[in-house]
Amino acid sequence: MTILDAFRLDGKVALVTGANRGLGRAIAAALAEAGADVAGLNRSSDNGGAAALVTAAGRRYHHIACDLGAATRADLKAAIDEVIDQLGGLDILVNNAGLIRRADILDYSDEDWNLVIQVNLTAAFQLAQLAAGRMVEAGGGKIINIASLLSFQGGIRVPAYTASKHGLVGVTLAMANELAGKGVNVNAIAPGYMVTDNTAALRADPKRNAAILERIPAGHWGEPEELQGAVVFLASDAANYVHGAVLPVDGGWLAR
């Protein structure tokens, strides 16, 4: 196998949460272009074009409707089982789905806290746990958690998001410790300030937008496509000896 062959995902099956738009759509497209069939777990129907991008790459796409904010462990197990039944296996899980609720710290509601923690951390852990069980049975697999710059920093007006993304890195490290010897790689990617729905409010605020851009050495907000290389790497055999890593893709933000 040549080094470039090691990056191929031919014959693999990937599950991407939040594949409808933004980072998830770009991730689904990249995995398909590298050779994987893709299941997208989305709260709504596939109205973001992920299916078209995956099939245009010559791969199969399967949509799973699931609201992670309300999903039980049984719902998530059913989703994992559906991927395996429909696409023939599960080799790669990308925990991408996430949400932000913004409010001043003194006014932050329990409802917002509980919802963000459920989607960003609890559901992600449960999906990773369930997927890992099937991967161990099959002889290996790759789990990639989409963390954040706020896995390292505190942020402003987003305490639940910050807590969830710190927690997701902790889960990544804990799972890597136990699963590395079982053939399952668990790693995370920490995107920087990307052009997504979650950052629309920041980009629309002239002061916040200017302050953020001033801090990014690359000089621009990241585009979802700029995450694709990191995802394909961590999903591939090229990353077989990479366990418990948190890879920033942030335009140099953390280097400042």
Question: Would you name the residues annotated as active-site residues?
Answer: 161
C-alpha torsion angle, residues 126, 92, 248, 1 (rounded to 10): 150
- What value, to the nearest 5°, has the Cα angle with vertex 82 and ends 76 and 88? 130
> What is the dihedral sign for C-alpha 53, 56, 60, 65?
positive
Whether 187 and 234 have beta carbons less than 8 Å apart is answered as yes
Question: How does DSSP assign 134-200, residue by residue?
Answer: HHHHHT-EEEEEE--GGGTS--SS-HHHHHHHHHHHHHHHHHHHHHGGGTEEEEEEEE-SBSSGGGH
Rounded to whole angstroms, the Cα distance separating 210 from 14 reads 37
